[in-house]
Structures are given as structure tokens and as C-alpha cells.
Amino acid sequence: MITVTLKDGDKREVMENTTVDTLCRDISMGLYRAACAARVNGKVADLRTPLTEDCTLEILTFDSLDGKKAYWHTCSHILAQAVKRLYPEVKLAIGPSIDEGFYYDMDSSFPFTPDVMEKVEAEMRKICKEKLPLERFELPRDEALRFMEEKAEPFKVELINDLPADAHISFYKQGEFTDLCAGPHLPDTGRVKGNALKLTACNAAYWRGDSNRETLQRIYGIAFTSKDELDAYLERIEEAKKRDHRKIGKELGLFTIMEEGPGFPFFLPKGMVLKNTLIDYWREVHKRYGYVEISTPVILSRKLWERSGHWDHYKQNMYTTVIDDEDFAIKPMNCPGGMLVYKNEPHSYRDLPLRVGELGLVHRHELSGALHGLFRVRCFTQDDAHIFMTWDQMKDEIKNVVKLFDEVYSVFGLTYQIELSTMPEDHMGDEKDWNFAQQTLKEAITEMGKDYVINEGDGAFYGPKLDFHLADSLGRTWQCGTIQLDMQLPERFELEYVGEDGQKHRPVMIHRVVLGSIERFIGVITEHFAGAFPLWLAPVQVKILPVTDRAAAYADELAAKLDVQGFRVETDHRNEKIGYKIREAQMQKVPYMLIIGDKEAESGMVSVRSRKEGDLGVQSMEEFLSRALREVAEKAV
């Protein structure tokens, strides 16, 4: 007998080699039907995994991230099986789960048109109804190669060739279809609800992301455990299309990307107002939280990037040049420059913690196919900060950063989930230091009453991190904030401070971004607000609409008063009907319109129209100003 400890602490005595799904059935048939995968001793596994020793066990349903991954990964195999049934000549590449759904890359002599996709989707539903078991088996590398060569799958052969000679390769078989795969998967295809899956798109993709290799077709799909969930998702996608920041950015005159600079956004006047207002807020918050601001050069020598490790590990994403016969690089991140600033003068323990912020312009080479509006660009402003501290200051500094995050995100009405990424296999530094750093992150978050999920082994090679995944008004998540502990860069750059004992010590460091990228965050909040920015952030806050030429002078007088109070105001003097002016101001998402006719000009009043609440009636200018100033001061959403 072995002891299995469940997530809630309950212990079960079971026979050795009992499978997870058997135990799951004994616990609850409802849980058994909902189960997608399991986590055994922290490792995700199939439900049919035999339990061979005392262990911890968590049953993963579709409500969990790893449960969704198993569900969607199985969907990708169903997709591949459907394509091979209908079009046996198609060659298969890879088919993983992704953040939302799944895809499969395929080499086909014909395009996957909407008609073809419809046929494939119908075949997928048939496969779901067949309830085919997914059976895992392994082959030695040589046999695995022969197996895929006989199936005439060249991409699979290439993948196997890249594996070690002594490797045993795993496969999953469902009916007549077998795929190279590490898993895990659902027990059978019947676990996927055929009426709750949908193929959503087909795009071109390079094999292994290499533009010099074959161009494949990537079919995307999504699936849920009920049709209602699928319908809600599809409605959300349609709403997301209306909120596309590229579309809204063009309509509101915020930014553009031109063929002369692919991946390099041009910010237009109104977009610059938005960007600068965001930056002003960033500076105001950071001053209150005890940060100083620096600016480091955009171009720095190769020697620096070699010292930081970027030249060896990140050079393919860097833009380089030669100055005076010496190699230089445009910075892809601000950290190494921040190290030099710290080293510029000696430091005492009394200086720590030292919180140093930088709005640094960085450049990273991205493949043209990956570029996407402001979300994926080649040039962006990273709102970095580096906090230098002693080891015993670490927990308080983490809490201080999280408090800052809470304040900033709440201003935009954004909630978040926290993910803790722990030590990877390929890491630098002492495991004892890693354990201390990870435990400190856990304790800091827990003491603040916050929950987190663990992303096992996904930390950077130099330290564990907390990622903050923001949820917008449509429920979509965006990874923006990060708290990254770094025990290695201070070592590489030989950073020091003089301790209370008069001896030199090595500080530990936090890399930290709140918004992540100013440009990307503008894209996020543009879609979050659908372009209807709150008053304090709106590029044009008030639009004055004179009804007659006689009211023009009074309109200009009001504009001047608003300008003195710091409002961004425009006056529409065009010879157009007032209804047309109002509709256009609404299309431009202006928070307030002041409609000025002869009566308002004579009485010294204003007729106020709110983007959100509609007609607010006639008010005195003082009354409107009081309302608007309060709204700006409170940064009301």
C-alpha cells in the first residue's frame, strides 16, 4: 500500500500501481468526469499514470491552467487526425496548446480556406463522438525514426533526430492516428465536447520560427467544456475586434505604423498627449514611493553586453553597429546601464534600499510576422526600476513594489493574478540562495493576503520572479508587471556596498516593471476602455460646440478658462449642424461636450453633455469645473 496526499490534505491508502483515474473515480464520479490531468509530486501527468510510491496528488480540471492545456493539447491531436483523414497527403509539424486554445502547423499544397476548415471541424466532431482512447507508448530513438519515416512525416523525423541517441521517444495513439508527443492528454477523445469546439483562423508560420525554412499553415482552434462557454468566448472575440487598438488608434489619431518603419510606432499629437499623461502619472507615483530617476544611453559598447551576458545569449535580438572600429549595440534592455550607474559612486548600507527608475527606450529585433500594433514592436519605452538592497530588506521591498502595483492597476480598473516562477534546471548561483529568494517571495505575497500560482521551473537563470497577469474589461489577461529577483548581475558587475561592519558586501537586486512597456500598455488600456479613456487620461477632455456664430466669442472665452485650469480643450467652430458636431465628438470619445447657444452666451451658463451619462442639463461654469476637477483629481474610471 502507498499513501496519497490530496490537495486538501486528505490522505488515501491505495494499492501500488493504482492509476490516478481509478483513485479519482473512488473520490467522486463528478470529479472523475471533470478531470483533465493530474499533478503528481508537482509534475503534470496523464490521468492513467500509475501511482508507484507515496506522493502528493492534485486532480486538474478545465478550471485550472494545466487542465486546460491538457484539454486543448488533445484538441490539437483531434485536429491533426481530422486533417489526415480528409487529406492524407498533408504533412504534420507541431501542435501545442497555447494561452487560449491550440494550433497545429501543417505543410499542405492547398490553402485551408473557410470551406476546408468547415469540413475539418465537422470531422473533429465525429472523432469526439467516437470516444477513441489516447494510448501512450514509447520507442527507442532508432525505432521512432523508422516509425515516422514509414509514415512519411519529415518534420517529425527532424524533431526525433534532434533528440539524444539514447532517448526513448513517447507517442500517443488514438484510433488509426499516432503522433509524436510528450503529453499529457485526456483519456479519450470523447472527453472533448464536439459542439463546444471551433477552428478560428489559419495563418502562415515558418517551420521552427526560421524565415529561411518551409512556410507552413497554422490552424488555430478553441474549445470549452460547454457550448455556452464557447458562445460567450466567440461573443467576446467579436467585441475584442471592435476594440482592436490598431483600429481605435487610427480612428482617434493616436498612433500609426508606416512601411518606412515596420515595428517602429509613430505617435501622433493626440497619442503623445496620452503617452505623456501616462508618463507624468508614472513619475508622480514613483516619486511618492521613494524612487530616483535616471537615463542611460541607447547605444553602449560590446564589452558591456559581453559582461552582462547579452552578447552571448541575446545577440540575435539586438541591433548592432560599429563606431570607431569597435562593436556597439542598441540596448534591448536597461539593466546593464543601471549597473554602471550604481558603480559610478561608492555606497553604504545607509543608502539601501536604493530605488532607481528609468523610462528607457529599448530596441529588440522581432520577426516581421510577429509584429502586432503596439503589442509587439521593435522599439518601446520600458518602465524599468532596479532596487538595490541587502538580503534582509528583500521582503519589505517586494511588499513595497506590490503596493505600488496595486495603486497603479486600480487606477485603470484592472485586476490581476500573480504567478511565481521558480528555479529552472539551467540556473546560476547557489541553490540555498534560490530557496531563500523563492521563500521570501512566497511569504511577502502571503503576508499581504494575496494568492498566487506556481509556474514550476520557469524563472530566469539568474533568479525567481513574480509575474502579474492583468485582466481587462473583457476578461482577457495581459502580462505586464514583473518583480524579478537577481542574484547574478550584481556579481557579474561586482556591485558593492559597505556594511555596518565596515566590510564590503554584495547587494541583491530587484528588476521591476509596472506597465512593462509604455507603448504596449497604451494598447492594453485602449482596448480595455474601447478608446473611451477616463477624463484625466483623455487626449481631448472637453469639446466646446457653439451652435451659432453669435456664441463663438463666448465659446472661446470658456475654452480659455478651461485651459487655465489645465484642461485639454478643443472648440468646433465649423459651420455644421449641432447634431453632426455632437455625433462626431461622441465618435472621438470626448468625455464632455459643452454646447453653447445664444441662451447660454447671454446667461453665462453651459449646456453639458457627458459621454457616459448623456445630457446633464444647463449648469454654471463653476459647477461644471468643480465636477471635472474632482473627477481628474480622483482619476475616476
Which of the following is catalytic: 511, 512, 589, 611?
511
Distance CA 336, CA 462 (A): 14
Distance CA 259, CA 276 (A): 25
Q: How far is CA 249 from CA 111, 516, 525, 586, in A?
A: 32, 20, 11, 15
Known active-site residue 7: no
Which of the following is catalytic: 275, 364, 427, 543?
364
Which of the following is catalytic: 39, 270, 286, 386?
386
Category of 301 on φ-ψ map: left (φ > 0), alpha (ψ -120 to 50) or beta? beta
Known active-site residue 335: yes
CA atoms 583, 584, 590, 593: torsion sign: negative
Which of the following is catalytic: 36, 335, 379, 480?
335
Cβ-based burial of 365 (10 A; exposed 0-12, middle 13-18, buried ≥19): middle
Q: How far is CA 375 from CA 27, 517, 522, 527, 581, in A?
A: 45, 9, 9, 11, 33
DSSP state of 362: E
Pair type for strands 415-421 and 453-455? parallel
Strands (E), 43-131: 43-45, 50-51, 55-61, 91-92, 97-98, 101-107
Known active-site residue 11: no
Torsion of CA 527, 530, 531, 532, to 10 degrees: -140
Distance CA 207, CA 159 (A): 11
Distance CA 570, CA 499 (A): 57
Q: With contact defined as beta carbons under 8 Å apart, do 442 and 483 qualify?
A: no
Distance CA 91, CA 107 (A): 5
Which of the following is catalytic: 383, 384, 467, 486?
384
H-only helix segments in 87-140 = 114-130
Cβ-based burial of 192 (10 A; exposed 0-12, middle 13-18, buried ≥19): buried
Known active-site residue 128: no
Q: How many CB atoms lie within 10 A of CB 630?
A: 11
Known active-site residue 382: yes
In this structure, what are the phi and psi dihedrals at residue 484, rounded to the nearest 5 degrees? -115, 115
How is 140-195 classified by DSSP, letter by letter?
A: EHHHHHHHHHHTT-HHHHHHHHTS-TTPEEEEEEETTEEEE------SBGGGS-GG
Which of the following is catalytic: 382, 438, 484, 488?
382
C-alpha cell at 583: 455625433
C-alpha cell at 67: 487542465
Known active-site residue 386: yes
Q: With contact defined as beta carbons under 8 Å apart, do 136 and 46 qualify?
A: yes
Nearest to 582 by CA among 611, 604, 559, 606: 611
Strands (E), 422-507: 453-455, 465-471, 477-486, 497-498, 504-505
Residues 6+ positions from 369 with CB-CB distance below 8 Å: 204, 205, 206, 211
Distance CA 426, CA 323 (A): 35
DSSP state of 508: E
How is 270-339 classified by DSSP, letter by letter?
A: HHHHHHHHHHHHHHHHHHHTT-EE----SEEEHHHHHHHTHHHHTGGGS-EEEETTEEEEE-S-SHHHHH
Known active-site residue 511: yes
Q: How many CB atoms lie within 10 A of CB 572?
A: 17
**Active-site residue list:** 335, 364, 382, 384, 386, 465, 511
